[in-house]
Amino acid sequence: MSYRDQAKVQSWVTDFANSHPGVSPQISVVDQYYAEGPDSGLVVVQLRTATTVTSIQPVVEDGAPTWRVHFDPREEGLDLDGEQTEALAADLTLLSLLCQYLQGRTDSEP
């Protein structure tokens, strides 16, 4: 299995964004030291209506990388109106689609 570097993860995120026109949340690949390995890659998604730090990264389970969504803990509650709740739901749907997309790209790597 080949391992992904930052450029590869960025190209996957760009491909995903291009195939989902109107993507609203800000998605970025974190500029970090990319050591070659199955757990390399960190994608941060900024939700539109919640300040929760949200990221997607691979973790190694049973010897294989599995992309997981991580939500940092919040110190305070979150109150949203109906439109804001709808925007959050759309962001979470997009987040789950991106996680699945990254897993599919990882699994298809030789």
DSSP state letter for 35: -
Q: If you average pLDDT over residues 84-99, what whole number do you get?
A: 93
Average pLDDT, the chain: 85
What confidence score (pLDDT) does residue 60 get? 85
Which of 25, 36, 109 has the alpha carbon at shortest distance from 16?
Answer: 25
Query: pTM of this prediction?
Result: 0.87
Q: Which residues contact 79 (CB under 8 A, 6 or more apart)?
A: none
User: For 32-48, what is each residue's pLDDT tens digit?
Assistant: 655 555 556 789 998 88
What are the extents of the domains in the chain? 6-72+84-107
